[in-house]
Amino acid sequence: MEKISSKLSEIKNKIEEAKNRANVNHDVTIIAVTKQVSIDRAQEAINAGLIHLGENRPEGLLAKKSELNNQAKWHYIGSLQSRKVKQVINEIDYLHSLDRISLAEEINKRAEKTINCFVQANVSGEQSKHGLKTEEVIPFIQSLGQFDKIRVVGLMTMAPNTEDQTVIRNVFKNLKNLQQEVVKLNLPYAPCHELSMGMSNDYEIAVEEGATFVRIGTALVG
Ligand SMILES: *Cc1c(COP(=O)(O)O)cnc(C)c1O
């Protein structure tokens, strides 16, 4: 396998170039998605300087965390079943998949601290994708005020599976517009400054469109 450190410097260069092309000035945080790799490979990612790791199953998260623990910040990026909330919610630093009130209720019941959440939007409208429809996002966030453990730090989406870069770019643009609408609501529990978007195949477009977190698996640790 290719060394993570060399893949990382290549990705960092591409991110810098994308920022320059689009006049983006904010930091972009790379989340190394380690769901498909071993604990040793995740350790290699940390050794290469990656701090943020992403997992999409409770088992994977807990296995990696028990070995690597406080060397990393942990992102839960998969859809989360309500009955699994208690296993993971106090083990993570960010949840990227808040998409329903029943999940918010369960989180509020189980969390021992404030949980940084991204509300997941299905901007592309693909049937197979999790997340709220675009028009549901604002009312959903407005209804979260009753849950004192939930802090909406941003919005998250996955681009559709397509070669058409214009389609992908429009999804990211729409998420950014939605994020700015949420900011304007001025809700104390929903500052919503972050945008979690972009994966191995589309992170450069996501950065151009304002991503603050990119979630990269295959191209980085695969
Ligand atoms: C697996 C996964 C990623 C990373 O995908 P790659 O194409 O391997 O970079 C990012 N986000 C989510 C939600 C994922 O499930």
Task: Parse the chain into domains and list their residue ranges.
Answer: 4-216
For ligand 1, the distance from its centroid to the CA atom of residue 115, given in whole angstroms, is 21
> Which pLDDT score is estimated for 35?
98
Alpha-carbon gap, residue 55 to 75, rounded angstroms: 6
Cβ–ligand 1 contact at 215 (below 6 Å): yes
In the chain, which residue ranges form alpha helices assigned H by DSSP?
Answer: 4-22, 39-47, 58-68, 85-88, 101-110, 134-142, 165-185, 203-208, 218-221
> What's the pTM?
0.97
3-state secondary structure of 194: strand
> Which pLDDT score is estimated for 183?
98
Taking the domain 4-216, which CATH number applies?
3.20.20.10
Q: List Cα–Cα distances, 32 to 55, 102, 195, in angstroms.
A: 9, 29, 16
pLDDT in tens, the chain (222 residues): 899 999 999 999 999 999 999 999 999 999 999 999 999 999 999 999 999 999 999 999 999 999 998 899 999 999 999 999 999 999 999 999 999 999 999 999 999 999 999 999 999 888 878 899 999 999 999 999 999 999 999 999 999 989 999 999 999 999 999 999 999 999 999 999 999 999 999 999 999 999 999 999 999 999
31: Cβ–Cβ under 8 A, 6 or more apart, which residues? 52, 53, 54, 75, 77, 196, 213, 214, 215, 216
Q: Which atom of ligand 1 is nearest to the CA of 216?
A: 9
pLDDT in tens, 121-141: 999 888 878 899 999 999 999
Alpha-carbon gap, residue 139 to 31, rounded angstroms: 28
For ligand 1, the distance from its centroid to the CA atom of residue 142, given in whole angstroms, is 28
> Which pLDDT score is estimated for 41?
97
Q: Which atom of ligand 1 is nearest to the CA of 215?
A: 10
Cβ–ligand 1 contact at 77 (below 6 Å): yes
> Which pLDDT score is estimated for 1?
83
Atom 10 of ligand 1: nearest residue by CA position: 215
> Which pLDDT score is estimated for 127?
81
